Structure 1
Amino acid sequence: MEKIVEAALKESVKSKEDFVKENGPKLILFAERIALAFTNERKLMLCGNGGSAADAQHLAAEFVNRFLLERPPLPAVALTTDTSVITSIANDYSFEEVFSKQIKALGREGDVLLAFTTSGNSANVVSAVKAARKMGLYSAVMTGGEGGKIAKMADLCLTVRNASTPRIQEVHIFAGHLICQMVDHVLFQKGSKGE
C-alpha cells in the first residue's frame, strides 16, 4: 500500500511541475484576463461534468466568497448547480445544451468562461465554448491528455499532459487555486509593499 501512495504522490507532483512549465505564462495571462473582466463589471462563468463540475463549483465559491484575502465578493457563476435549469434543458432539448443555453441567457460580451473537461471532448462543454465564442465571451478550457477537440476551439487551452483522470483533476484544482490567488493579487495587492 505504501508503494501505491508513493507512486501517486510522485505522479501528482510531476504532473503539477510539468503543467506549470508548459502553462505558467498562460496561467498568468488568464488570471489577468479574469481580473480585467471583473474590473469591467463582467463575470466569470464555469462549467464541467462530474468531478469537473465540482471544480467549477469550488472555484466559483472561491471568487464569490473569498480565497486567501478578505476582499469584496467577485461575480462568478457555476453553470452546474441549478438542477431545475439543467434537467429542463436536458429533457426538452438535450444534455449537450445544458451549459450553452445558460451562457446564451446569462452571458454578456466581455464575460469569461472557464470550462473543465479532462478528455477535451465532452459534447456539452464543446457546445458551451462554441456559444461563448459566438457571444463575444473570452473562453478558456482546462483539459487533459492531448487536449481533445476543444483545444483549438477556445481562446486559451491549459492542458495537463497526463492520461490519468485523477491526476488531471488534481492539477486542474491546483491551477484553479493559482488563478484565484493571482486574480486577488492583481485586483487587491498589486502595487503594495513587496510587489
Structure 2
Amino acid sequence: MEDLVKNLFEEHISVAELSAISLITKINEACLLIVDCIAKGNKVLLFGNGGSAGDAQHIAAEFTGRFVKERIALPAVALTTDTSALTAIGNDYGYDRVFERQVEALAKAGDVLIGISTSGNSANVLRAFDAGRKIGCINVGLSGREGGDMNKVCEVNIVVPSQITARIQEMHILIGHIICTAIDNNN
C-alpha cells in the first residue's frame, strides 16, 4: 500500500512540475481576463460534469464567500447546482443543452465562462461556450489530454499535460485556487 501512495504522489508531483513549466502564461492570461471581468462589474459562470461540476461549485464558492482574505462577495455562479433547471432542461432539450440554456438566460456580454472538462470534448460544455460566444462572453477552459474541441472555442484553454483524469482534476483545482488568489490580490 505504501508503494501505491508513493507512486500517486510521484505522479501528482510530475504533472504539477510539467504544469508549472508549460501553463504559467495561459494561467496568467486567464487570471487577467477574470480580474478585468470582475473589475468591470461582470460575473463568472462555471460549469462541468461529475468531478468538474464539483470543481465549478468549489471555485464559485470561493468568489461569493471568500478565498483567503476578507473582501466583498464577488459574482460567480456554478451552473451545476440548480437541480430543477438541470433536470427540466435535460428532460425538455437533452443533457447536451443543460449549460447552454443557462448561459443564454444568465450571461451578459463581458462575463467570463469557465468550462471544465478533462477531455475538452464534453458536448454540454462546448455548447455553453458557443452560446457564450454569441452573447459576447469570454471563454476560459480548464481541460487536459490535448485540450479537445475546447481549443477551438476558448480564448484561453488551460490544458493540463496529463492523460490521467485524476491528475488533471487535481491541477484544475490548483489552477482554480491560483485564479482565486489573483482575485484576492485585486479586490
Pair in the same fold by TM > 0.5: yes
> What's the TM-score once normalised by structure 2's chain length?
0.98
Aligned residue number for residue 57 of structure 2 = 57
Q: Distance in 2 between matches of 1:118 and 1:43?
A: 23
Residue 4 of structure 1: how far off its partner (Å): 0.7
Q: Distance in 1 between matches of 2:99 and 2:49?
A: 10
Q: 1:180 and 2:153 equivalent? A: no
Q: Distance in 2 between matches of 1:64 and 1:16?
A: 27
% same residue: 44
Contact 1:115/1:142 (<8 A) preserved: yes
Q: Distance in 2 between matches of 1:61 and 1:155?
A: 24
Q: Distance in 1 between matches of 2:94 and 2:119?
A: 20
Q: Secondary structure at the match of 1:175?
A: helix
Any runs of at least 4 consecutive aligned residues in structure 1 with deviations exceeding 6 A, and if so which? none
List aligned pairs for 1:84-95, cutoff 5 A.
Answer: 84-95=84-95
Q: Distance in 2 between matches of 1:85 and 1:62?
A: 23
Aligned residue number for residue 15 of structure 1 = 15
The alignment of Structure 1 onto Structure 2 pairs a total of residues equal to: 187
Q: Distance in 2 between matches of 1:182 and 1:171?
A: 17
Q: Which moved more, 1:154-163 or 1:43-52?
A: 154-163
Residue 25 of structure 1: how far off its partner (Å): 1.6
Residue 20 of structure 1: how far off its partner (Å): 2.1
Name stretches of at least 5 consecutive residues in structure 2 with no aligned partner: none
List aligned pairs for 1:35-46, cutoff 5 A.
Answer: 35-46=35-46
Residue 150 of structure 1: how far off its partner (Å): 1.6
Q: Secondary structure at the match of 1:114?
A: strand
Q: 1:155 and 2:155 equivalent? A: yes
Q: Deviations over 1:158-186 (max 9, x none)?
A: 0011111110100000110011001211x
Contact 1:32/1:183 (<8 A) preserved: no
Instruction: Report the residue type matching 2:40 in the other structure.
Output: N
Q: Secondary structure at the match of 2:147?
A: coil
Name stretches of at least 5 consecutive residues in structure 1 with no aligned partner: 189-195
Aligned residue number for residue 169 of structure 1 = 169
**How large is the RMSD of aligned CA atoms in angstroms?**
0.8
Q: Which moved more, 1:13-22 or 1:34-43?
A: 13-22
Aligned residue number for residue 124 of structure 2 = 124
Q: Deviations over 1:35-61 (max 9, x none)?
A: 111111100000000000000000000
Q: Distance in 1 between matches of 2:184 and 2:128?
A: 26
